[in-house]
Amino acid sequence: MLEILSIFTAIEEMWDFQLPKDYRDFLLRTNGGKPENTLFYIDKEYGESIIDGFFGFKKGLTWNLLLKQQYAGVRVPGNFLPIARECFGNLILLAVKNPDRGKIFFWDHELEAGDGEVPDYSNLTLIAPDFQTFFDSLRSEDDED
């Protein structure tokens, strides 16, 4: 746990933001991974989707939070941290800086900014006011109607 706390400190200093307490606590407990409940609601247009897994401090590119932030850094607005991947390759983002600090957004990769364009909110959908609300809203795929 001390190692992960050191990583938190390094991330927060390097990227000049502080992780919200609910998300920090989640990483300390789980280090990411696939949750038991994976179904989540986006909005009327998208409906529901499934979380493939949460990023953490893991080896390899696929589930490593630090590498995912570097990869997404030019593809998503600068005040966001990718925290999970959805089953179709879209991302779940945590706003880590104002004006939306703490809020959770769905990022649609099909509508992302083109080469040379600055990423904006046009392909983002607010899905929760904070991480804990989002996590608590996850349901079992067996609950799908």
Sequence-separated (6 or more) residues with CB below 8 Å from residue 58: 31, 32, 64, 65
Q: What strands lie across the sheet with 47-54, from one edge to the other?
A: 39-43, 47-54, 80-86, 91-95, 104-107, 124-128
DSSP state of 108: -
* Domain CATH number, residue 119: 3.40.1580.10
State how many domains the chain has: 1
pLDDT digits (tens, 9 = 90+) for 13-72: 888 888 999 999 999 899 999 999 999 999 999 999 999 999 998 877 788 888 888 878
- Tell me the torsion sign for CA atoms 23, 27, 29, 34: positive
Report the predicted TM-score, pTM, of the whole model to 2 decimal places.
Answer: 0.91
Q: Are 137 and 41 in contact (CB under 8 A)?
A: yes
Q: What is the extent of the structural domain holding 31?
A: 2-143
